[in-house]
Every structure is written in structure tokens, then in C-alpha cells.
Amino acid sequence: LDSDVPPRQRESSARSYPRRLPVTLVWGRGAMVRDSGGLEYIDCLAGAGALALGHHHPAVDEAIRDILDRGAPLSTLDLPTPVRDRFIEELFRVLPPGLRDGRILFCGPTGADAVEAAVKLARTVTGRSGLLAFGGAYHGMTQGTLALTGRRSAKEPLGPLLPDVHHLPFPTSYRSPFGAQPRSEPHGGGGRSGTAAGGAASGMAGRLVEWALGDDLSGIAAPAAAVAEPVQGEGGVHPMPAMFAATLRSATRQAGTFLIADEVQTGLGRTGALWASEAIGLDPDILVLSKAIGGGLPLAVIIHKAVLDGWQPGAHAGTFRGSTLALAAGAATIREVVRAGLAERADTLGRRFMEDLRTVAAGDPRIGQVRGRGLMVGVELVDPESPAADGVPVADGSLAAAVQRQMLQHGVIVEVGGGRDAVVRFLPPLTVTEGQLDRVVSAFGSALASVRA
Ligand code: PMP
């Protein structure tokens, strides 16, 4: 046996983060992680947003330790346990009002599996097959969720996926698919009200949704569901304008199409509100949650309005739906996020963080836009030497990769995403301190300066 092969060389080339960032992490607490050489980093990846309370929050550790000490059964599938009951109680106490009398289904435990469940439910109840999704969307890596993704490169090698999925442009405030650009606004965007151009884009996008859902001429039969992220994450941190959310909600309601809000990444305080969909008035029929609600352990659920409860027992199953450790960690996390007011704190800190990022990079033409909601923030980097036809320079993925590497040198772990992977993404734990965010800002400034051509 070739026992000399190091463990990392046994990993498939599909792995991503470890390939890009050459660190071996051995310790974590709060927003900090430490590598095997003793160097510390601020973790702005935070388990891709799963670690709302950071690493080893005392409330989460205690909840996990309690399960171990009491010898509670670790996995019971759908058999009730007090831990499971408590998780459901904690979650329903804080759900958006429109879903508080709804039903919960434990999934996966991945976000992708929960999106699959949501789509299956909508198709089952409506008897329709069509689905509406958005450019730039990310809902997971299964073949069903890839059909919904807005990123062509992720699905093209796979041949036909789910049929009957229609994509509409997402009303972004920068690089708008509708052409209206916030001209010469290199540091703009990200504000709650959005730009005038963003408003126009949202109006056009809304009309397109109405057309797709309600107009015989569109050739699109009313779909079973429209699936949307209230803030697109992997797609490059694009908040959905409230004006567009209102149109999407009313048009789907009129068409008898269920609205699925994918809050896998935005849920539980990340965007400065407990639920990003509630903040923009989306009022979904089905809410998809994962990441933060498991306190860093694998957990994913859908919550749907009670009237949708029209499917058979076993219609969606999976071995690991609702592990006791994850339910305990999740219940502790929900309680702590609410107790400590971490959503409101994310709003305050996020606004300041975005302002500081704009300031540290002021005048640098490589900053396309700083945007986000709460502590879900992205900086789109561009190549100022290559203006595209509409006046917005081309997104610069190699610059973002260089900034990412340099930030690691300066002690900060960040993610990249969006078109051409040109958006540097910040998803720190909601417990991140102001001092740590200041260090992230200065690391970003230093990284930008050090990759100056
Ligand atoms: N939906 C959204 C909005 C996500 O951000 C993600 C993960 N980044 C997923 C779904 C998929 O979740 P998972 O990776 O757990 O399958």
C-alpha cells in the first residue's frame, strides 16, 4: 500500500480553500484561529458563515458538553428527544411572524439538501414543475441545486440538469444586468436605500418577474416556485432591493407560485436583521436555513407555511437529519444570538466596517464597489485599465486572489466569490470585536498596497 502518500494528496482536486491558502489550523476561539506554526489569523471565513458565534463560544461548548455528560442519544432520526424539542421551540420563538405557525422539516444536513426539499415540496403541492431562479444565485452543489445556480461554469460540464428552470437577472446595484450603472461611483453602493440606478434596475427586474409569472406571451407556465437569496452570497454579496422583494412577493402570490427564501447564509443575524427576508418584506412560503442555526455543526431545515403540509411521510428523508449535538449547539446559538442582540450589532458594526473599507481604499481605482448587509460584506475588485463597453471596468479575479493571499500574510482569512471570483468576501463571526474588524480593514489596505503593480 502506498502509505507514504501525505493525507492532503489523497484529497480530490475539487477541494478549494486548502488549496488556495497554505495553512494548517490547530486552534480556534471566537474570531481567531491559530496555525501549526503558532501564527494567529482573524477568521473572516468562519466556516463559510456557519460559525455565527465563532469558535468555541462558551454557550455552544457547554451545550455540547452537556450532551456528552448526560449520555443523550447522539442520533435518533425523527424520534423525538428533549434536545430536538428544545431546538424547535427556540427556533419558532424567533421566526418571522409569517412562519411562526408553520412546520419544520429536518433535512440533509446540508443547505443544498434543504433547498432540494423546498423545491420538492413546492412541486408536490402545486403539481407544477417549473422553477424560477436568478442570475448569480447559489443554492448548493447537488444536481438539482446546480440547475438553480446562476453560474454557468459550475453546471456546463454536467450536461442537462433539471429541466424547466428559468433564470431572471438579479437587480444588482453594480454591474447591473439592466445596464443602468452608478457611473463614476467607485466607492458607492451598499447603502440601505441603494442608488437611483439600483432602484431603476429593481423596477425593471420586477416587471420582468411579473412578465415571467403572469404573462401568456412569456411562454413560461406558472412555476411551482421562485427561489431567491435575500442577499446573494457566493454570487458576490448582492443585497436584494426591498422594492424588488415586494414585486417578487406579490407576483408569485398572484401566480400561485411558492416563494422560497434561501437564508442558508443570511439567516440568524448575519445581515444585521435576524432574517434578511423579513427585513426586505419577502414573507416567504418556505424558508431554507442551515449554517448558523447548527452552531457550527451540520444542521439544515426548511420551515414552510402550515397550509403547504400536503406531502407524504418519508417524502424527504436522510440519515443525518438532526443530530443531537447539532441540535444542542444550534439551540444554544439561537438563544445567544438573540440574548446578545447580535443581529443589531452586526448592523452597526457592518455599516462602520464598510465605511472603513471605503476609506482605507479611497481613491484606489481597483475598488469597484464595497457592498453588503450587516457582517456579510464584499469588495468587488476591478481592472481599471480595461473598461468594458458600459463604463464599468472588468472584474479582476487574479487581483482578488492576490489580495486574499496577501491578507493571509497580514493575518486575515477571507473568501473570494462572485463573477470571475473578483469579490473579496468578509463573513466574520457575529461576535467579532471592533478591534478585530479594525485589523481586518488595515490588513485589507496593506494587502491592496502590496499587490500594487
Ligand atoms: N444556499 C446558499 C445561499 C448558500 O450560501 C449555500 C452554501 N454556501 C448553500 C445553499 C449550500 O449549502 P451547503 O454547502 O451546506 O450545501
| pLDDT digits 0-9 by tens, 61-119 | 999 999 999 999 999 988 999 999 999 999 999 999 999 999 999 998 999 999 999 99
Q: Quick count: other Cβ atoms within 10 Å of Cβ 196?
A: 10
> Does the structure show a pLDDT above 70 at 349?
yes
The pTM of the full predicted model, rounded to 2 decimals, is 0.95
| Ligand 1 atom index nearest CA of 290 | 15
> Does the structure show a pLDDT above 70 at 189?
no
**Choice from 134, 170, 264, 270 to test ligand 1 binding pocket (greatest atom count within 8 A of CB):** 264
Ligand 1 centroid distance, CA of 18 (Å):
18
Decide: 234 in ligand 1 pocket, CB within 6 A: yes
* Distance from C-alpha of 209 to C-alpha of 346, rounded to nearest angstrom: 31
* Distance from C-alpha of 211 to C-alpha of 217, rounded to nearest angstrom: 8
Q: Which residues contact 367 (CB under 8 A, 6 or more apart)?
A: 186, 187, 358, 361, 379, 380, 381, 382
ipTM, 2 decimals?
Answer: 0.99
In the numeric block, the cell 479594525 is attached to 438
Q: For the chain, where do the domains classified as CATH 3.90.1150.10 start and end? A: 7-56+341-450
* Distance from C-alpha of 375 to C-alpha of 272, rounded to nearest angstrom: 7
For residue 316, what pLDDT is reported?
94
- How large is the average pLDDT for residues 413-426? 96
Decide: 277 in ligand 1 pocket, CB within 6 A: no
| Residue nearest (by alpha carbon) to ligand 1 atom 12 | 111
Decide: 195 in ligand 1 pocket, CB within 6 A: no
Ligand 1 centroid distance, CA of 112 (Å):
6
Would you identify the CATH topology of the domain 7-56+341-450?
A: Aspartate Aminotransferase, domain 1 (3.90.1150)
**CA-closest candidate to residue 244, choices 191, 181, 172:** 172
Ligand 1 centroid distance, CA of 294 (Å):
13
Average pLDDT, the chain: 92
Supply 392's cell numbers.
464599468
Ligand 1 centroid distance, CA of 118 (Å):
13
In the numeric block, the cell 455528560 is attached to 69
For residue 200, what pLDDT is reported?
82
Ligand 1 centroid distance, CA of 38 (Å):
31
More confident residue, 373 or 453: 373
* Distance from C-alpha of 231 to C-alpha of 269, rounded to nearest angstrom: 12
Q: Quick count: other Cβ atoms within 10 Å of Cβ 405?
A: 15
Q: In the structure, what pLDDT confidence band is assigned to residue 56 with cuts at 50, 70 and 90?
A: very high
Taking a C-beta distance cutoff of 8 angstroms, is the pair 201, 210 a contact? Answer: no
Q: Which residues contact 396 (CB under 8 A, 6 or more apart)?
A: 366, 381, 382, 383, 420, 422
Supply 69's cell numbers.
455528560
For residue 183, what pLDDT is reported?
45
> What is the C-alpha radius of gyration for the chain, rounded to an integer number of angstroms?
22
> Does the structure show a pLDDT above 90 at 178?
no
Ligand 1 centroid distance, CA of 129 (Å):
22
- Cα separations in angstroms, 167 against 26, 138, 229, 283: 42, 12, 13, 21
For residue 177, what pLDDT is reported?
85
For residue 186, what pLDDT is reported?
40
| Ligand 1 atom index nearest CA of 109 | 15
**CA-closest candidate to residue 266, choices 172, 166, 346:** 346
For residue 180, what pLDDT is reported?
58
Determine which helix (DSSP H) or strand (DSSP E) holds 58, and give its type and residue range: helix 58-70
> Does the structure show a pLDDT above 90 at 57?
yes
What's at 19, amino acid-wise? Answer: R
- Burial of residue 119 (number of CB atoms within 10 Å: 0-12, 13-18, 19+): buried
Question: Phi and psi at residue 26, in whole multiples of 5°?
Answer: -120, -10
> Does the structure show a pLDDT above 60 at 404?
yes
Would you identify the CATH topology of the domain 64-339?
A: Aspartate Aminotransferase; domain 2 (3.40.640)
Q: For the chain, where do the domains classified as CATH 3.40.640.10 start and end? A: 64-339
Q: Where are the alpha helices (DSSP H) in 188-284?
A: 196-214, 242-255, 276-279
For residue 191, what pLDDT is reported?
41
Decide: 262 in ligand 1 pocket, CB within 6 A: yes
